[in-house]
Every structure is written in structure tokens, then in C-alpha cells.
Structure 1
Amino acid sequence: MRSIYFLPFLLSTLCGFPALGASYHASDFMLGDWAGARTQLHDDGVDLNLVYTNESGTNLSGGDKHAFAFADEFKAGAAFNLAKLINLEGGHFYFAMSMRGGDADNLNTQAGLGELHQSLEIYGRGRVTRLSEMRYQQFFFNGDLELNLGRMNLGSQFGGRECDFMNLNFCSTQFNKQSPTAYNWPISQWAVTLKAKVSDQWAIKTGVIQHNPSFLKTSQGMNFGNPAGTQGMVLPIELQWSPVVNTFTGNYRLGYWYDSAEQADLILDDNNNYRVVSGDSARMHSSIDGEYLIIDQQITSFDDNPARGISLNLYADRGDKHTTKIDKQLNIGMDINGPFASRPKDKWAVAYGYLHVNNRLSEAVQAYNELPTTTTGMPLLSSEHTLAMLYKVQLLPYLSVQPELQYIYRPGANSDNSNALVAALKIRCNF
């Protein structure tokens, strides 16, 4: 290894990377060009950086009390273009770690909001350093076939979405919330995925993703191997369509997933009675499944600049009716990139989110409430609705500040909970 690589290679154990194919500019990084070393590394096939994200928020109304919470994350890693490094055409290697910190309790808990999803998405999975990606990627047949092998998370491969909003309703892969065995960033598991382009507009992708809850333990955060505890596999398949509508390329994805890990029934026991009434052990299901749909389509541009314009997006999914509390979800949103000519890198976005609680759960609750021995009934849950709006200010190429307002109607799908208004702020810096 050439001496120019030594210090940056060590920094890669502390450092995230730009997306493959993204344009490279040394000015996009706070620490600049390292006296030319960073550009030299990029030209030789090595990209390094460090991304810091901070999310904080408070409830302006709703909940049991007013509270303030924050969470943050350092995302670090390296991307290696193996064609440049070792003449392996079409080969790439990705390595990333994450270190999360912040309050021990999230805003939802501190304020007693009762939300089904969090208002600060970056909170979760423990305040610990984790191996979040260690993946080999290989393209074949001029890029028409793509293979990924190694440690990765579900959202980087299937059903992934741009994650600007802080409310978890609109961020990252959603069907992992219906499948308790499918993990998103910062958790990584062993997986293999394969994507084949059928034409210029059509592709199909599938894979096998391990389910091992041992990776959730903080003690396993930096385990590069495979701790005991594998329970099954998640088998997703995704059909991708990229039509050109009025010169704008859209992103349409239809997915199905099958989970082979055994799961407990949401409400029934072994005798098909309501567990909340009988108190007996849950009936077990040998597998669960679900579907999802993603649409992201730009519809116009400003000043003939395709990087500026309006895009519409939709996300919908169905969870397994036997095991999932939230069995249906719908998101609809609009993004305006570069809303002002003087602010071409800013972004304004609005979104609506709908979470539906499984009707089977209400049936069990109603049966419990009708028992003669019941003195305090449980609430009947229906659906939670969220409206969110953000404005991301790109202060510098490497620094953005994003205020966000969230209005949660019927938090927890419980009409007894007060509607909540949350103000949040995200700061992101790319070193």
C-alpha cells in the first residue's frame, strides 16, 4: 500500500462514503482536500469521509408533559473502487461503522406522546458503536447484473427511501416495522442480493438476508463474524421500473417479502382463543409475509435545471395480518428541490402518513373489555395520522440545517391521547 494511503486508511475506521457514482468535489467536505491527498485517493479508487448528524426536538403540545430530547450519530467508512485499485473490473467494496449517542430515552418516551413511530428517527438500537456495512459489490455484463455479498442492512438493498424527514413515518425502509426480523441501519446482517436489468427501464432484484437477533445486542456491535442465534431468513423480491415521463426519470418499485422466522400470533393462543382473555401461550406461525409499493416521480423543473423541481412520492405497504400490530401504512409527499433560484441546494418538503392498527387487535381488546371481571378497559386502537413539513437549508456544501414541524393526530392510534405538535431540528455535517 502506497504511503499516501496510510493515514486516510486509518481514518477510514472512523469515517462514511459518498454514493457510488456521485460526483466528487473536495469542497463538499469540511476538512477539504487534505493538501491534495483526498483527491489523489479518489483518483486511485478510495473515498473516505465522516458524516455527523444531530437530531433534537420538543413537543409544543400533546403528551403528558413538555420535554426536550436529542440523538446523534457519527457515520464512518470507506468505499473502494477495485477496478482502479487492483484492476478488478466492476468490483467495489464498502465498509461503514456507526456510533450513536444522545439521551437515554427518546422524545416519545420522555414526553409521553404515545406515538407508534418516533419523531426523531436517528434514535434507537442503543448508544453504541456498530459495524453497519461490510459489503462486496460486483457488476457483470456491463452493469446489467449486480451482486452484493457480505454484511448489510435491509434498507440499503430493498424498499429504501431518501431519509430527510426526522419522523420515522417517512424515513428508511418501512416494511421492517411490519417484519420484526428485518433490520435497518445501523444493524447489519449477513446477506446476498442479486439484481438483473431486463431492459433500460426494467429490473428485478432478490436476495437472502439473515435474521439473527443477536446483532441487536450492544455487546455484538463490533462483531465482524456471526454470533449464535440465527432464526431464519428474509427473502425479498423487488420489481423496479424507471420510466421517463416528460424527460424526468421516475422510480417505481413493487416488492414482496417472505420471512421464514417463527413468529407469535398477535392475539391468539394455541387453542385459537384470545390470549388477553385466556392468558395462555401465543400461537406460533412458521412464516410471515407482506408487500410494498414505492413511487417517486419528478414532474417539473425550474429554469431548465433538472436538479431543481417538484417531485411527488408515495409509499404503501401491507404487513402480515397474523403477527403485526401495524398492518397497513400509506405515505404521500411532495418535495421541492431548489425552491428558490438563489438557494438551488435547499429543499422544502411536505408529507402525510397513515398508520393502521390491525383490526384483529381491536377484536381481542373488545373481548377483554366485555369480561365481567374487567374493571379497567383497554382502549380500542384505530389509526394514527401524521403531517410533517421540513425546510433544509444547505448553508455550505458540507453543512445543512433542517427545521421540521410534525403534527400527530391520534398518537398511538388512540383517541384518548392528545394530538401532538413537535418541533425538531436536524444538523448534518460531512467532514
Structure 2
Amino acid sequence: MTLDSRAVRSGSCRQARARSARSPGQGPAVRLVRRLPARAALAALALAAPPAALADDLTLPALTPAPLLTADRDAWTVWTQPHLFGDWGGLRPRLSALGVDVTLTGVDEAVANLSGGVRQTVQEAGQVGLQAKFDLQKIIGLPGGSFEVTLVDRWGGNLAADAGIPALQLLNEVYGRGNIVRTEEFAYKQKMFDDRFELSVGRLAFGDEFFSFSCNFVNLTFCGSAPGNIVGDYIYNWPVSQWAAVGKVNLPADLYLKAAVFDANPDYLGAKPSVAFWPSFPDNSQGLIVPVELGWKPKFGALLGDDTIGGWWNNSAAPNAATSVDGQPILVSGLPAQPGHGRYGFSANLQQMLVHDAANPDPKNGLYGFFNVTVADRRTATQDAQIALGVFQQGVGSRARDGFGVAVGGTQVNPNVANAQAQANVLGLGPGYVQHIEYATEAWYGWQATGWLNLKFDTQYVMCPGGYTAPNNRNAFVLGVRTTVDF
């Protein structure tokens, strides 16, 4: 967001604490169904089609589309079934019997800012994800082998950009990486040695494999793998994939050790179908990203835990985030950044079930607490740290698939960048503000309206968006609804 220099005065979150539309049109569920692209349906058929060499063994019987309602399939069944389109006229179970499991899920987030930014507006973004898992033991007799393909089609806009809110983290996390179809996963996976070792090779998303965290929340501070949230210029989360090889060793005492090699290549971010959609090999590799993660999945009686700690190293060239070639702040000298090599960081995710209802048949239902912290190197990262903590509930009384959550968190701008801004401001060359920490809070309730439809009612309050205060940068109060449909 471009700020009017006449209106901006220097300020920070710490100083502030001391001082103390567009119409969305149709409902999100209707838009989500209508946006389901024809190419996703065609891709589903292509993914499910067996190889020609196996056609004789895997020929599907003729399918007769099932009517929406029959004597045995009343209106109540339509609402309680797990998928909007049922078993796809019998196709889904037949494919599963042959070793092909297909899922099709849509997510839409409609959000509006009641305060913050330069205007009040409404924005909407969403995605449709198509995943096919091929059980190679069923298909070709390879024990422990599988092949997985995931395609993601995204659409919509960024509320923060539309409203003029300089947020460090997205207010509608589903937005991003282009309104195009991407191959999020294209990988061969093999379990061996009695499942003690797992190998994955192919196009993989960093955030799926390392420091993974659920996406129960709508603000990006509390969604997905944190390294990709703060250093997303070289670590890519869903739906961007990179060529990689991942090895995982399952150890005794519910421990595991995982390591990988990812291709560090900015071409993966491009919108060209030759790279984004097709699992090709872009030729602009800059080096390697090597992450390592130690995980522990403890069980204290019925209380489940999921803890990870680790780090990553990237050996590619990386300019200094704040200092120019002459040793002065970039904002002061106007010269190029100091060159260098190597970027790194550390991350830890702690999640523990705190309460479990013994009467609930689902062992995963209960109250969870979580604490996530991620730190990136200050030489190269503009955002160098993020902390998030909160609680969420899976299952609310007799409503086993409802839930709620509350979280608070902060994303820090590199102090080296902040110091450079302060020096430049003194000389009249800076932005007029100094960035420190953006604070986010969020609360939601998820209502499982039908077997296949979930509506999540969400509220966010972001203090010091962008990590600073200014007359035209007020705190942002955001309301939204996330719609999830399992087709």
C-alpha cells in the first residue's frame, strides 16, 4: 500500500500501545459449486483411467448414474451422505476396489473488513482440489508403493490488498500463488522394511512434508507450515510444488526423523502451465534446500500429541535484507544489497490434546492446545520470526464434526530492517514509519451443516498491520465465512 507522505507520521506498535464494497453476490456455497471447473472433472477422468497395458484387468463395469432420490435414497440421505454427489454413480467405490482413491474438495473464503485499511470492502477467494492416490500393490503388485497426484485450481482476490491493509500475513489464507491450476503433488511413495522407512520422490510441497500444521484458521498466521509464511520467497507452501526427495525413518517410542533435498528454483512460482501444471523440470535452479525434522507423536492415554522440531538450510545466493554494498542501509544509499550465500531457519510445532470425551467414538475429537515458533536468519529475511498459540476443539457435544478455535500470534519484521527504516526516516529518505510486530487474534466456530458441507464463521482482529501504526493504518477488524464442500 502506498501511504500519503503528508499524512504519515513515524510510529510503531510499541508506541501505539504506550499511547493506548464490493457485493459478494451469490452465497459462497453456490459460487463454489458453480466455479467447479470443467477441467478438474476432465482431470479426474484422466487420473482415474488405468494404463492401457492393464485395461483388460482393470476394465470398469458399465455405470448407471444414480438418481438424486430413490425409494432407498431419501432426502435425508442426501443431506447426511459424506459427499455432495454421493459415490459418483458407483464410480468411487469401483475405483477404490481397483486401487484408485479420488477426492474432490472445494474451499471458499468470503471476508470483509469492518475497520482498517483505506476502505471497507468484501473479498472472496477459493480453490478446488483434486487428489488421486494409486495403490501400486493393488494395481501392479508392488507392496508398500503408491503414486499420488494433486491438482489445485484457485480463484479470487486478496482482501488486505483490496482494502489497503498492509498486513504481513494474509487475512484470507486460501488466496495466493496465482488464479491458475497447479500440480501440488506428483510423487512416487514407497514404504519398506516393515514401514520403518518411507521414501517420497517427485513434485512435493515443502509445507506438506515439513513443519506441517493444520489450516483450521483463516488468518495465515495460524495456518500451514510457518517457514513458508515468513520466507515465502524461497520456501513454497501449498499449492506450489518443487522437485524433491524425502526420506523418513520411523523410530521407536513414537519418534521419527525426516530429511529431504528440495530444488531451490524461483521458476516454480511462475504462472506458465509448462511448470505450474505440468511436472516438468525448470532450468533455473539456484541451489538446494535441505530441511531436517524430528517428530514425536506421544499418547498419554487417550490424549494424542504431535510435536516437531527442526530446521532448514538453503545454499543459494541471497542478498542482505537491509544493508547495501557500501555497508549503509539500502534505504539510505540506494545501492544494491550486499551479496551473499546461504539462508537458514528453525521451527518448532507443539500440539497436544488436552481433553478427550470418552463417550465420543472418534479418538481424534477433543480439545487441543498448540504453540508454534519459527525463526529465520536476519541477514536475508525481511520477516524473521513468527509465534502462534491457541486452542481448538474437534467435536462439540453431540455434534461430532462441529468445532471452534481461538488463537493469538505475532509476526516480526527483521530488526535490521527496522533500524534501517529509522535511520532513513531521520534523513527524510525512509517510509515515515518503523516496522516491528504485527499481532493477530482470531476466533471461529465451524458448523457441519450436512455430511458434505461445513460453514466456518470467523472473526479476526489484527493490531498494527504491517508491524507499524500510521494515521491511515488503523487496526483491522475482519469478519468472514469459510465454506468447505466435499464433492
Task: Work out whether 1:92 is the aligned partner of 2:149.
Answer: no
AA aligned to 2:250 is: K
AA aligned to 1:89 is: P
More strand by share: 1
Query: How much has 1:165 moved relative to structure 2?
Result: 1.1
AA aligned to 2:258 is: K
Distance in 1 between the 2:43 and 2:235 partners? Answer: 32
Structure 2 residue aligned with 1:360:
416
Distance in 2 between the 1:307 and 1:177 partners? Answer: 27
Task: Work out whether 1:287 is the aligned partner of 2:320.
Answer: no
Q: Deviations over 1:247-289 (max 9, x none)?
A: 3221110011001121111111123221111111111220010
Task: Work out whether 1:141 is the aligned partner of 2:197.
Answer: no
Rg larger in 1 or in 2?
Answer: 2
Structure 2 residue aligned with 1:202:
255
Task: Work out whether 1:324 is the aligned partner of 2:381.
Answer: yes
**Secondary structure, in 3 states, of the residue corresponding to 2:280?**
coil
Distance in 1 between the 2:290 and 2:186 partners? Answer: 20
Contact 1:231 1:261 in 2 (8 A): yes
Distance in 1 between the 2:296 and 2:222 partners? Answer: 21
Instruction: Give unpaired runs (5+ residues) of structure 2.
Output: 1-40, 49-79
Contact 1:152 1:188 in 2 (8 A): yes
Query: How much has 1:308 moved relative to structure 2?
Result: 2.7
Q: 1:377 to 1:88 in 2, by over 3 A?
A: closer
AA aligned to 2:371 is: L
Distance in 1 between the 2:396 and 2:218 partners? Answer: 20
**Secondary structure, in 3 states, of the residue corresponding to 1:282?**
coil
With 242-251 and 138-147 compared, the bigger mean Cα shift is at: 242-251
AA aligned to 2:445 is: Y
Contact 2:114 2:477 in 1 (8 A): yes
AA aligned to 1:226 is: F
Distance in 1 between the 2:86 and 2:323 partners? Answer: 59
AA aligned to 2:143 is: E
Q: 1:347 to 1:138 in 2, by over 3 A?
A: same
Contact 1:147 1:195 in 2 (8 A): yes
Superposition map of 1:58-137 within 5 A: 58-103=112-157, 106-137=158-189
Query: How much has 1:146 moved relative to structure 2?
Result: 0.4
Q: 1:9 to 1:46 in 2, by over 3 A?
A: farther
Task: Work out whether 1:251 is the aligned partner of 2:251.
Answer: no
Distance in 2 between the 1:291 and 1:92 partners? Answer: 31
Task: Work out whether 1:184 is the aligned partner of 2:217.
Answer: no
Task: Work out whether 1:405 is the aligned partner of 2:405.
Answer: no
Contact 2:421 2:430 in 1 (8 A): no
Higher relative contact order (CA 8 A, sep 6+): 2
Query: How much has 1:118 moved relative to structure 2?
Result: 0.8
Distance in 1 between the 2:91 and 2:478 partners? Answer: 43
Query: How much has 1:11 moved relative to structure 2?
Result: 2.3
Q: TM-score, normalised by structure 1?
A: 0.91
Distance in 2 between the 1:114 and 1:88 partners? Answer: 51
Structure 1 residue aligned with 2:225:
173
AA aligned to 2:204 is: M
Distance in 1 between the 2:213 and 2:46 partners? Answer: 26
**Secondary structure, in 3 states, of the residue corresponding to 2:338?**
strand
Structure 1 residue aligned with 2:91:
37
Q: TM-score, normalised by structure 2?
A: 0.81
Query: How much has 1:403 moved relative to structure 2?
Result: 1.1
Question: Cα RMSD between the aligned structures?
Answer: 1.8
**Secondary structure, in 3 states, of the residue corresponding to 1:421?**
strand
Instruction: Give unpaired runs (5+ residues) of structure 1.
Output: 1-7, 16-25
Contact 1:135 1:151 in 2 (8 A): yes
Task: Work out whether 1:216 is the aligned partner of 2:269.
Answer: yes
Distance in 2 between the 1:312 and 1:49 partners? Answer: 29
AA aligned to 2:469 is: S
With 43-52 and 182-191 compared, the bigger mean Cα shift is at: 43-52
Structure 1 residue aligned with 2:359:
304
Distance in 1 between the 2:181 and 2:468 partners? Answer: 35
Structure 1 residue aligned with 2:51:
none
Aligned length: 409
Distance in 2 between the 1:353 and 1:93 partners? Answer: 37
Query: How much has 1:235 moved relative to structure 2?
Result: 0.4
